[in-house]
Structure 1
Amino acid sequence: MAAAARAAHLLVDDSPSIFVDPLAQTFLGQSAEELLGYHRSYGGHPVLAGARTTAVTRSRYTEDRLAELARGGVEQYVILGAGLDSFAYRSELAASVKVFEVDLPATQEWKRELLVATGTKVPSSATFVPFDFEQESAHSLAGHLVRAGFDPDRPALVSWLGVTMYLTREAVGQTLAVISGFPPGTELIVEHLLPAELRDEAGQSYAEAVMAAAAEQGEPWRTFLSVEQMDALLREHRLNPVAYVQQREVMDPAGWERTDALRPFNLSVLARASVPAY
């Protein structure tokens, strides 16, 4: 659904695009016509417009930050819950950054099949790291990464988008504890959903619709955190909070003067934290 939102953004919404992912439609495979058809026909619907807004703003912020860090010498990018993320297959930056895609084994097998079916070459800079956040000990994540070629002595950017709401708070904390053991200079960008009382009307309507659909598919939303709660969780696991960014803050306010259906709303926050030097 996230890939469909990124793809539909280029088909449904007006210029200028907030985020450009030219491979998202390709990665949808045989589902492209059905999924994009909803956006084409009902693109102004709050849930579909909200999905596009969420997907493109979080991707833009994360990849903009990766570009900044790469200019400073960071050469490793870890994507937790990578799904159909296409960075490694479309970005010029991927030539100088080693990408580690972490996700469920079944999800990665599905993605590999899609890559073959669409004729998409897997670059040497991309590595698949099978991992189950709920079933495996979070402490084993570092070992999985190192065996896949991750250099534990060099900093990285770790992105964790669209995942924490599906996990227990305990599982989120365990993963944060592992990331805090990465080298100083490592940064984490993690998306967390706000509790109902902190959402605006648009955010609450979106949450009610999508949360019900996710539960029906066996993937209930479990964890909601205020900025203060996420701040405490990060500090508890020895990570230094740097910034908390909501959708409207991803770009200059003038960028939201749009003629399409995209509008920022209060649903999720991107928390950026760093691994301190001790």
Structure 2
Amino acid sequence: MDCPSTTAWRVAQHRAKHQILDRGTIFPDPLACPILGLNEQDQDLTHDQPGEKSFRSFLAIRSRIAEDKLANAFKRGTKQVVILGGGLETLGLRGPCSHKNVTFFEVDSPAMHVWKQRHLASLGLCVPSSLIFVSVDFETGTLIKDLITAGINATQPVFFSWLGVVPYLSRSSIENTLQSAAIFPDSEIVFDYGEPIENYSGHHRALMEKRSKLVESFGEPWISRFQPEEMHSLLQNTGFDDILDFDRNRIASYFGWPPVHATQKASPHVVCARTRNNKD
């Protein structure tokens, strides 16, 4: 595996495992295994590791919520989708199969894009003309300029999918990205974030500390984590409202699952927000 991002590759593995071990019950993705160059009998995808299922489920949950919200945006007439931190995401590859006349802009680092396009070609996976790769360094703050150069229409609505990225960015970069997204009319964004590790207790805290050390060992450390009220304030200050923050209990309600009764108060979060100039 020569992918520039170890975490991106591991997330893709979890997505594929969800298709096999969990039958894709939360989030079906027909390209989850093909994009890894693996099949459903591959040993790397058929063995569960201790403590892995809950994390794998959350990855499926955030993708499902994002694409449910995207489906609603399509109904409102949105024709532009920006995938921030594309990694091995398959949305831009799957999009043309179900969404005609929609342009997908996949944003990631130059190194990731060079590798991904070479990787897709080696697997014989076609990149549709509706998918445009936009190379951006999130820390430099040139997102708007680069998207416009790539052909995005700044006068039309945009849906932003920003999954698995926020913890790896500085707070100033996160704020700049939100401000950039809010510039577009009727902008909507879905992303996930984590609470400070100190909010967790018991074995949950030990698990979070273990994961933190793991990603740091990959050279991709967690940099930013937020109290929910901090994140809501940041969204409002950058131009977003209609904020819907899914913690574990709201996630359970969304999927029709039983309420979560736990002494653990901290939770992973998925957030959906729209700009103040939305019409409905």
Does TM, scored on the shorter chain, surpass 0.5? yes
- Give the match for residue 98 of structure 1: 103
- Whether the aligned pair in 2 keeps the contact of 1:88 and 1:94 (CA below 8 Å) is no
For residues 112-151 of structure 1, the aligned pairs below 5 Å read: 112-134=117-139, 136=140, 138=141, 140-151=142-153
1:42 alignment partner, SS class? coil
- Whether the aligned pair in 1 keeps the contact of 2:18 and 2:24 (CA below 8 Å) is no
For residues 22-37 of structure 1, the aligned pairs below 5 Å read: 22-29=30-37, 32=38, 37=43
Deviation at 1:93, TM superposition (A): 3.2
Letter in 2 for 1:100: F
- Whether the aligned pair in 2 keeps the contact of 1:50 and 1:206 (CA below 8 Å) is no
Higher relative contact order (CA 8 A, sep 6+): 1
Gaps of 5+ in 2: 1-9, 259-264
For residues 113-262 of structure 1, the aligned pairs below 5 Å read: 113-134=118-139, 136=140, 138=141, 140-183=142-185, 185-199=186-200, 201=202, 203-250=204-251, 252=253, 256=257
1:95 alignment partner, SS class? coil
Task: Establish whether residue 80 from structure 1 lines up as the match of residue 81 from structure 2.
Answer: no
- Whether the aligned pair in 2 keeps the contact of 1:67 and 1:93 (CA below 8 Å) is no
2:245 alignment partner, SS class? strand
Deviation at 1:167, TM superposition (A): 0.9
Deviation at 1:38, TM superposition (A): 4.7
CA distance in 2, matches of 1:254, 1:180: 28
- Give the match for residue 60 of structure 2: 56
Query: Across the two proteins, how many residue pairs are aligned to each other?
Result: 261
CA distance in 2, matches of 1:16, 1:28: 16
Deviation at 1:51, TM superposition (A): 2.9
2:57 alignment partner, SS class? helix
Deviation at 1:199, TM superposition (A): 3.6
Letter in 1 for 2:276: P
Q: Which runs of 4+ in 1 moved over 4 A?
A: 200-203, 251-257
- Whether the aligned pair in 2 keeps the contact of 1:158 and 1:189 (CA below 8 Å) is yes
C-alpha distance 255-77 of structure 1, shift in aligned 2 (>3 A): same
C-alpha distance 99-251 of structure 1, shift in aligned 2 (>3 A): farther
Deviation at 1:191, TM superposition (A): 1.1
Letter in 1 for 2:29: D
- Give the match for residue 268 of structure 2: 268
Deviation at 1:125, TM superposition (A): 1.1
2:193 alignment partner, SS class? strand
- Give the match for residue 107 of structure 1: 112
Percent identical across equivalent pairs?
A: 32
- Whether the aligned pair in 2 keeps the contact of 1:77 and 1:157 (CA below 8 Å) is yes
- Whether the aligned pair in 2 keeps the contact of 1:244 and 1:271 (CA below 8 Å) is yes
C-alpha distance 255-117 of structure 1, shift in aligned 2 (>3 A): farther
**Over residues 12-67 of structure 1, what are the superposed CA-to-partner deviations in whole Å (9 max), with x where a residue is unaligned?**
12x571001111111113xx48xx63552234x11x21331121000000001100
Deviation at 1:86, TM superposition (A): 0.5
- Whether the aligned pair in 2 keeps the contact of 1:188 and 1:272 (CA below 8 Å) is yes
- Whether the aligned pair in 2 keeps the contact of 1:18 and 1:60 (CA below 8 Å) is yes
Structure 2-normalised TM-score?
Answer: 0.85
CA distance in 2, matches of 1:40, 1:256: 26
CA distance in 1, matches of 2:244, 2:135: 30
Letter in 2 for 1:7: A
Structure 1-normalised TM-score?
Answer: 0.86
- Whether the aligned pair in 1 keeps the contact of 2:232 and 2:243 (CA below 8 Å) is no
When the two chains are superposed, the root-mean-square deviation of aligned CA atoms in Å is: 2.4
Letter in 2 for 1:41: H
C-alpha distance 212-149 of structure 1, shift in aligned 2 (>3 A): same
- Give the match for residue 41 of structure 1: 47
